[in-house]
Amino acid sequence: MTAPLVELRDVTRSFPGSPEVQALKAVSLEIAAGEYVSIVGPSGSGKSTMLNILGLLDTPTVGEYRLAGARTGDLTDDERAAVRAQFIGFVFQSFHLMPRRTVLDNVLMPMTYSGVPRDEREDRAVRALDAVGLGHRASFFPGTLSGGERQRVAVARAVVSGPRLLLADEPTGSLDQRTSGEIMELFESLHAGGLTLVVITHDVGVADRAARTVRITDGRLSEAA
């Protein structure tokens, strides 16, 4: 039997304070390779903490996170960074593009860390931009693009290294409704190509597009009916 791509086992993430804050409480979750899952919940529900755990940006206080069957708790910081670079793509609400670099340079950047051979990088970046409909904007700077175009650049950057898992954190939060729909259609075309997609959102309309929805409330998960 194939192991889930993502597996959280009784994960709790606590932050010190008076009183201690438990952002995640005994969370268990399995996501198979190729699934399209949304995690929906209000502000303060634990969504950001969940993203940080799934993306290896943070570690559980208690419990275990397995990625493609491999335990991640024993990895060093450098090993975690290497797994992130090769395995996981990220798309954020605020794009996180480098304003003084061209669109092409922004998409080239992650391949420096993910092990893509140097002589393949530009071709892969151009193909990624073509795939999101922005090949004609390669020499532009992010500040000259619309919000939707900048998010498309962010998507191209997230997938150019060939990750197996794409984590999208409020990817439509700063976009209008029409542009949001276009970005979600882009994600869905990537998912149709075999990418495992996890969308973290407070927007029920965005969440409902996924094949499976998980709700997070006060740090606890429940499967939506």
Report whether 35 contacts 211 (CB < 8 A): yes
- What number is the average pLDDT over the span 182-203? 92
Facing residues of 37 across strands?
Answer: 198, 212
> In the prediction, which pLDDT does 225 show?
60
Tokens of 88: 């996981």
Distance CA 153, CA 142 (A): 9
Is the confidence at residue 1, as pLDDT, over 70?
no
Q: What length is written for the chain? A: 225
In order of their start, the domains of the chain are: 35-57+81-223 (3.40.50.300)
Report yes or no: 33 and 164 within 8 Å, Cβ to Cβ.
Answer: yes
The model's pLDDT over 38-85, given as tens digits with 9 standing for 90+, comes to: 999 988 899 999 999 999 999 999 999 999 999 999 999 999 999 998
Whole-number pLDDT of residue 79: 93
Nearest in space to 88 (alpha carbons), one of 121, 120, 56, 111: 56
Q: Would you state the pLDDT for residue 20? A: 87
CB atoms within 10 A of CB 225: 5
Task: Give the pLDDT mean for 206-219.
Answer: 93
pLDDT 10s digits, 138-179: 999 999 999 999 999 999 999 998 999 999 999 888 888 888
Beta bridge partners of 219: none
Write down the pTM of the prediction.
0.92
CA distance 207 to 1: 29
Q: Quick one: how far is CA 78 from the chain centroid?
A: 20
Unique residue bearing structure tokens 């993306």: 55
Determine the pLDDT at residue 15.
93
Pairwise CA distance, residues 124 & 212, whole Å: 31
Name the CA dihedral angle for 197, 201, 207, 213, rounded to a multiple of 10 degrees.
70
Alpha-helical runs (H) found in 160-221 = 177-192, 204-207
Q: Provide mean pLDDT across the span 19-34.
A: 94
pLDDT band at 23 (very low <50, low <70, confident <90, very high): very high
Is 80 exceeded by the pLDDT of residue 224? no
For residue range 97-145, what is the model confidence (pLDDT) as tens digits? Answer: 999 999 999 999 988 888 888 999 999 999 999 999 999 999 999 999 9
The secondary element (H helix, E strand) that includes residue 99 is none
pLDDT mean across residues, the chain: 92
Is the pLDDT at 7 greater than 90? The verdict is yes
pLDDT number for residue 213: 95
Q: What is the mean pLDDT of residues 12-38?
A: 93
Q: Tell me what pLDDT residue 2 has.
A: 77
Please give the pLDDT value at position 127.
Answer: 92
